[in-house]
Amino acid sequence: MKRRFFQKRTVALIAVLGPLLALLVYVSLSSGPLAPVPVVLAPVENRELSPALFGIGTVEARYTYKIGPTYAGRILKLGVDVGDHVKAGETLGEMDPVDLDERLGAQKAQVKRAEAQLSETEARKEYALTQAVRYEELLKARSTSEELATTRRQELQIAEAGLAVAREELSRAIAEQKALEAQRRNLLLLAPVDGWIVARNAEPGTTLVAGQAVVEIVDPRSLWVNVRFDQIRAQGLAAGLEARILLRSQRGVEQMGHVLRVEPLADAVTEETLAKVVFEELPEPLPPIGELAEVTLALPKLPPAPLIPSSAVLRKNGTLGVWRVRDGALEYTPVVLGASDLEGSVQVKEGLKVADRLVIYSANALTERSRIHVVEKIPGVKP
Amino acid sequence: MKSSGIRIEGLKKRYGSGETAVDALKSVDMLVAPGEVVGLIGPSGSGKTTLLKCLGAVIEPTAGKMTLGQEVIYDNGWKIRDLRALRRDRIGFVFQAPYLISFLDVTDNVALLPMLAGIPNAEARARARQLLKELDVLHRAQAMPSRLSGGEQQRVAIARGLVNQPPVILADEPTAPLDSERALAVIRILNDMARKFETAIIVVTHDEKIIPTFKRIYQIRDGVTYEQNGEGRLLTT
Amino acid sequence: MISLAGRDILHSWGKFVFTGMGLGLLIGITLSMAGIYRGMVDDAKVLLDNSGADLWVVQKDTLGPYAEPSSIYDDHWRGILAMPGVKAAANITYLIMQVNRDGDDVRAMVAGVMPGEPGTPGWPPYLVAGRQISRSHYEAVADIASGFKLGDRIQIRRNQYTVVGLTRRMVSSSGDPMVFIPLKDAQEAQFLKDNDAILEQRRRTAQNPAFNLPGVPGLPESVNASQSVNPYVNAVLVQVEKDYLPEDVARMISRWKRLTVYTRSQMEEILVGKLIATSARQIFMFLVILSLVSSAIVAFIIYTLTLGKIREIAVLKLIGTKNRTIVGLIMQQSIALGLIGFVVGKISATLLMAPIFPKYVLLQPLDSVFGFFAVVVICIISSTIAIRAALAVDPADAIGG
């Protein structure tokens, strides 16, 4: 009767408004701060750990020889260029002697003069000797005065002294000549070892000061990688560790090597430990010196132990810990961690057992009172 | 007794003051017995509408006396405090247009009045349906007003006017939009209802078709009423 | 007594629902604006929370590192770590720059974090995929708002990085996604220039007679080397021991180290009070304008609806309906309109507007509750115009057609 009429209208309206209100309630609860937080869980697993160290290095030569003059001068000749291979003792170039040759000539003339001087004094001495002997004889025959005999004796002494002077003068001139010759030889730039010219710093005609390098030579067999490791992540760094070297210009190819030594002097400013890593086999073609390389060192594998992903670890109330899910509820559990590897796994020494389920990813920061909603993948993360 | 009809004595209504004052009603005297249906005729501008408004307690007369049943409702000033309750409970209105509430169905249009008076919904609806039955529109009880024909709407309006069993019904040109058959039917219904419920009914009209049906007619000219009987003879001087 | 308002609504429900939906979209925009403001404040808070720090140590007299550039030497952290009350101290750099991936540029805030274990100040506190940085160079953790995926190779300045982890809601205070890279790489990125600029610099050094002294071989190389080293960071993040008050530790550090130190509440004030203040004002203005517009629309609609019923209202008054009932009729209709609008608005704000807006929109339940009451109040006030019109109707007009 009349009831039915109202109900038809009312029912129709409820059919429209009802879902609308339900949608409102759904919307209020499923988004915003009232909604449960999506989380991804993972169990604690018992696995081996392959820890590794990672550092960045530059390719350097172990021995670099900088060849240059010992005196200021000008370059006369330079016979080698970058990329040339040279042998030990090979002449690479020459500095300009300037007046050295002339001075050598002058010195040689000086030697000759000294020699002539020597002959002269020798002759004088002979004469004085002869005179002294004769006058000695005359004195014995009383044909001459005592005074004259004495004078002749004295002249002999003077002549002998003069000879000694001339001899030493000659020695000195010869020594000075040798010195100039040595200097002359010094103007030659010689390769000290077999090697490879890597730099040519000046051209002929350039004036250099003492100590400036004209060319730089490296021994190609002595290429190594000077690697820097963050001190915080350098635990276990030791000589002999196996290394995988990835040169920047050869991204797809890994070179094998090993750690030759760990430098005793670390870099205090950048807080890095330095190590030298050598190639097992030099790569062909030789990498340029100064090229960057990424070096990964494999530390000894650790036996199976409880492992967790490092993304589960957080700091709360001053301790390191994880969110454990027990019976659907969140529980913060402090842990003590052990070694970790480069792929995000870390050992748990204390605090968790194998098969405990942990929160490894969450869409929001969690608190003890958060409601959680376990999912396979956090919404919004594209595959 | 519920009512003893309407008595109006010396009613005056002046609009405005001073020089621009207009006397819509100068001296109105009327007497309607319970159960009687009287007609009120007059040219337009004669004060018919003003008189209805005074009787309906929607405007205040300037002077005079109005008695409804035993109660004096106006004696040179309203003697009743709650005019609205007076209109709701003691006066019924029937207009020339049905003026039904468009968003209420027929039953609720009629039942609204008793509900406004505080009567519980079920009882109000029962009363409404009773009247609708009397007026032969019960079969349209659930319909919305816009679905009804003019005549049906008018009958519902009459039912609404009667539902609170008021002692007085004021009908303003109730047959104007109707044809002669329907008009006479409406007058017949009014007479039946008046007799049945002892209601005094004043019908304002200038519908030639129904004037002959009245036993007594008041004529109003220039604000003064003159009574005449059905044959057109003046009864008062 | 039946509900007149209810009957009227039922009778013309189509009009109501349609109008309510239109109003609802307007309300939805208003709610979203409030959400945008909350999102901005949340961006700032999240930035501070995620850094894991209790104190920020920055260049003296700057508002850094987020509100103003700040440069301090990168060895200050050691001295700070040694101070009493300091549990952990870590360098950090921040720079907003373009990050490149396969030719696409993404504007991001690149943060350089010190190597260490999870929980070091500056590290993202939680991930949504992948792992934290484990190598000392060329790895990155990026926020998903950047669009990067695990395994992507991205370019920052001169180097390429592999994305090894993803985060969510790690953004700068202006909503740029964050990318975390090792500190040394970040220092290089921040201060080392591109190749052209470096060559230019070397050329200038070579031409400068002060750097070309004949008696000092190797001087130009030393100068070049010193110019390509960057010993600066933007701030040191400090965690305070449990038994110490951050304010006390901050005071100590700023006195002995001659640096400026901010506590968390001070940083929040700087970010929210200074950085966001302008945007907050703009959004507040929008909120007020939208509320006024909504109010005007509701007033207009209810007024029009009332005017359409003016004859019926006169009849109702004539037959003895109380004024109170008529006022109730109009006001209830107004509130019903507001309710439909609010429901539509809340739903559209959450499902439509918040997800597609480029900034983070945070719709808080409290805001919705407040908005609900505001809508009701606005509807009540807006209906007064119509109510006045209805009350002014003379019941006598029903008589005498």
ipTM: 0.79
A3 pLDDT above the threshold of 70: no
Which of A54, A56, A318 comes nearest C87 by C-beta? A318
Q: Rounded to an integer, what distance in angstroms lies between the CA atom of residue C23 and that of residue C1?
A: 30
Integer CA distances (angstroms), B158 to B48, B90, B154, B187, in order = 20, 15, 6, 11
Q: Which DSSP helix (H) or strand (E) runs through C113?
A: strand C104-113
DSSP letters along C376-392, please? HHHHHHHHHHHHHHHHH
Q: Predicted confidence band at B231 (pLDDT cuts at 50, 70, 90)?
A: low
CA distance between the termini of chain C: 29
The alpha-carbon gap from A268 to the nearest alpha carbon of chain C, in Å, equals: 10
Residue C391, chain B, CB below 8 Å: the answer is no
Residue with tokens 């000749």: A77
Q: What share of residues in chain C are helix, strand, coil (percent, to 5)? A: 55, 20, 25
Residues of A in contact with B142 (CB under 8 A): 2, 5
| Tokens coding B163 | 């539902």
**What is the band of C194 on the pLDDT scale with cuts at 50, 70, 90?**
low
Mean pLDDT over B226-233 rounds to: 62
Could you tell me the CA-to-CA distances from B81 to A133, B72, B77, B87, B166 in Å, in that order? 184, 12, 11, 12, 18
| Amino acid code (one letter) for A51 | P
User: Residue C56: pLDDT above 90?
Assistant: yes
| Sign (positive or negative) of CA dihedral C355, C359, C361, C362 | positive
**Averaged pLDDT, C260-278:** 87
Please give the Cα distance from B1 to C6 (Å, whole number): 39
State whether residue B53 sits within 8 Å of chain C by CB. yes
What does the alpha-carbon distance between residue C122 and residue C88 come to, in Å, rounded to a whole number? 11
Sign of CA dihedral B134, B137, B143, B148: negative
Predicted local distance difference test score (pLDDT) of residue A2 = 47
Q: Which region, left, alpha or beta, applies to residue A156 given φ > 0 means left and ψ of -120 to 50 means alpha?
A: alpha
In this predicted model, which residue has the larger pLDDT, B235 or C394?
A: C394
Every domain of chain C and the residues it spans: 2-44+278-400
Q: Which residues of B touch A2 (CB under 8 A)?
A: 107, 125, 141-142
Chain centroid to Cα C140, Å, comes to: 23
Q: Read off the DSSP letter of residue C193.
A: -
In Å, the largest CA–CA distance within chain B is: 57
Mean pLDDT of C4-24: 86
Angle among Cα A279, A282, A286 to the nearest 5 degrees reads 125
* Distance separating alpha carbons of residues C11 and C7, to the nearest angstrom: 6
Determine which of B107, B121, B142, B144 to mutate to test the interface with A (most A C-beta atoms within 10 Å): B142
Euclidean distance between the first and the last CA atom of chain A, given in angstroms as a whole number: 62
Long-range CB contacts (< 8 A, 24+ apart) of A334-338? A335/A308, A337/A313, A337/C117, A338/A305
CA distance A164 to chain C (A): 45
Tell me if C12 and B58 make a contact (CB, 8 A cut-off).
no
CA distances for C228 relative to B14, C114, C192, C221, C223, angstroms? 104, 20, 6, 11, 9
Task: Determine the pLDDT at residue A115.
Answer: 92
Tell whether A5 lies on the interface with B, counting CB pairs under 8 A.
Answer: yes
C401 with B97: Cβ contact below 8 A: yes
Q: Does B107 touch chain A (CB under 8 A)?
A: yes
Burial of A271 (0-12, 13-18, 19+ CB in 10 A): middle
Percentage helix, strand, coil for chain A under 3-state DSSP, each rounded to 5: 30, 35, 30
d(CA A215, CA A83): 11
Q: Do A294 and C138 touch (CB under 8 A)?
A: yes
The residue of C9, C318, C332, C393 whose CB has the most chain B CBs within 10 angstroms, and thus the best one to mutate to test that interface, is C318
Cβ–Cβ < 8 Å for C137, C182: yes
Beta-carbon contacts of residue C186 (< 8 Å; ≥ 6 apart): C93, C95, C110, C111, C112, C113
* Residue whose C-alpha is closest to residue A343's, from C131, C360, C6, C79: C131
Q: Bridge partners of A327?
A: none
Residue A297 exposed, middle or buried by CB count within 10 Å (0-12, 13-18, 19+) = buried
What are residue A320's phi and psi, to 5 degrees?
-90, 140
> Distance between CA atoms of C271 and C63, rounded to whole angstroms?
9
Nearest of C360, C321, C348, C10 to residue C176 by alpha carbon: C360
Residue in A13, A21, A310 closest to C10 by CB: A13
What length is written for chain B? 237
Nearest residue on chain C to A30, judged by CA atoms?
C350
| For C317, nearest residue in chain B (alpha carbons) | B84
SS3 category, A327: coil
Q: Which of A1, A2, A9 to mutate to test the interface with B (most CBs of B within 10 A)?
A: A2
Residue ranges of C 157-186 with Cβ closer than 8 A to chain A? 164-166, 168-169, 184
- pLDDT-derived band at A186 (thresholds 50, 70, 90) equals confident
CA-CA-CA-CA torsion sign (C204, C205, C206, C208): positive
C15 touches chain B (CB under 8 A): no
Q: What is the mean pLDDT of residues A239-261?
A: 89
- Per residue in C336-383, pLDDT (tens digit) is 888 888 988 888 888 888 778 878 888 888 888 888 898 889 888 888
With 0-12 / 13-18 / 19 or more C-beta atoms within 10 angstroms meaning exposed / middle / buried, residue A160 is: middle
Per-residue pLDDT, averaged over A369-376, amounts to: 85
- Tell me which residues of chain C, numbers 380 to 399, contact chain A at a CB-CB cutoff of 8 Å: none
Chain A CB contacts of B105 below 8 Å:
5
Lowest-pLDDT choice from B136-145, C49-58, C101-110, C188-197: C188-197
Give the pLDDT score at C180: 94
Cis peptide before C69 (omega within 30 of 0): no
Q: In sequence order, what are the residues at sequence separation of 6 or more whose Cβ sits closer than 8 angstroms to the Cβ of residue C391?
A: C323, C326, C327
What band does A161 get if pLDDT is binned at 50, 70 and 90?
very high
If we measure between CA atoms, which residue out of A322, A329, A320 comes closest to residue A308?
A: A322
Kindly report, residue by residue over C286-317, the tens digit of the pLDDT.
888 988 898 888 888 888 888 888 888 888 88
**How close B121 comes to chain A (CA, Å)?**
12
**Reduced to 3 states, what is the DSSP secondary structure of residue A93?**
strand
Average pLDDT, chain A: 86
What backbone phi and psi angles, to 5 degrees, belong to A179?
-65, -45
Look at residue C107 in the predicted model and tell me its pLDDT.
93
| Mean pLDDT (chain B, rounded) | 82
**Helix, strand, coil percentages in chain B from 3-state DSSP, rounded to 5:** 35, 25, 35
Residue B20 burial by CB count (10 A; 0-12/13-18/19+): exposed, middle or buried? exposed
Tokens for B88?
């709701």
Higher-pLDDT residue of A233 and A12 is A233
Contacts of C315 (CB under 8 A, 6+ apart): B95, B99, B101, C395, C398
DSSP state of A363: S
The model's pLDDT over A202-242, given as tens digits with 9 standing for 90+, comes to 888 888 888 888 889 988 778 899 999 988 778 888 888 99
For residue C129, give the nearest of A23, A56, A381 by CB distance. Answer: A381
Average pLDDT in the A163-189 region?
89
Question: In whole angstroms, what is the distance from residue B157 CA to residue B163 CA?
Answer: 10
User: Chain B: residue nearest C395 by CA?
Assistant: B58
Beta carbon pairs, A and B, within 8 Å? 6
Please report where in the chains the tokens 């697993």 appear, as a residue: A45
Helices (H) and strands (E) in chain A, counts: 3, 24
- Structure confidence at residue B2 as a pLDDT band (50, 70, 90): very low
The pLDDT score that the predictor gives to residue C261 is 93
Instruction: Determine the residue type at A146.
Output: E
- What percentage of chain C exceeds 90 in pLDDT? 18
Report the percentage of chain B scoring pLDDT > 70.
94
pLDDT confidence tier of residue A34, bands split at 50, 70 and 90: low
Residue C199 has pLDDT above 70, yes or no: yes
DSSP H or E run through C306:
helix C277-308
Residue A65's φ and ψ, nearest 5 degrees, are: -110, 125
Its pTM stands at 0.71
Q: CA C341, CA C335: separation in Å to the nearest integer?
A: 10
- Entry field: residues in chain A: 383
